[in-house]
Amino acid sequence: MTTPKEHHPGLVVQNLPANLKLSNFKLIAFDMDSTLINIECVDEIADAVGRKAEVAAITEAAMRGEITDYKESLRQRVALLKGVTLADLEQIYQERLQLNPGAAELVATCKQAGLKVLLVSGGFTHFTNRIRDRLGIDYTRANVLEVADGALTGGMVDQPWGDICDGAEKRTMLLETCAKLGIDPSQAIAMGDGANDLPMMGVAGLSVAYHAKPAVRVQAQVAINAGGLDRLLEILA
């Protein structure tokens, strides 16, 4: 086992094959909240009903891996969002949500190199669909917030594949997408920041932690601890 080394300042690499190229890969999978974008959407939605601190504390514990039942933690948080309006969600998208540095550049470079792009999120389709359209992402999986009379009910809507996109579902979606593309999971890159990203990072050929929680950094082959998402390209020629 190689000792982790700083490839460049703020870029830690461990157990990486030599001469790795972007062209070795056919799929890149991203987490959304705090990876592709700058916010945790659930925390910002909670702010609209004055519950940000309460919800953010649960999110932080879940991302650090201190809460083992991610689905239950998400149900708890979503229940606290009851009454948030669709207008509030739109305001969050317009005023608070930004792509993280290097996100658009990395996605564009991957697409130019022939990779398909997957967005798998424990967050919500209200935001993932917009990011999908903005960046030209090929596949997405995320949770659907239940809405009645223009406001959130505090519940989520079951989907054909299941109820909640947790870590296990992220892994399943990555493997299903590889199968659909006729590629091996070793030809996939997975990028995330929280404990619920570890299952998909564990089956991908290259695992990348972006400004991640400690438990995620130590398990990833590449940890980007400073700078933008496109720093991955410093390693992949």
Buried b (16+ CB within 10 A) or exposed e, 114-130: ebbbbbbbbbbbbbbee
Cα–Cα distance between 80 and 96 in angstroms, integer?
20
Cα–Cα distance between 194 and 182 in angstroms, integer?
28
Burial class (CB in 10 A: 0-12, 13-18, 19+), 21: exposed
30 closest CA partner among 160, 164, 175, 141 = 141
DSSP 8-state symbol, 2: P
| DSSP E strands, the chain | 5-8, 11-13, 27-30, 116-124, 139-148, 151-157, 188-192, 206-210, 222-224
Please count the CA atoms within 13 angstroms of the CA of 90 that sit on its side-chain side.
5
Cα–Cα distance between 88 and 29 in angstroms, integer?
29
| Catalytic residue list contains 184 | no
Catalytic pick among 31, 43, 193, 230: 31
| Catalytic residue list contains 31 | yes
Residues serving a catalytic function are 31, 33
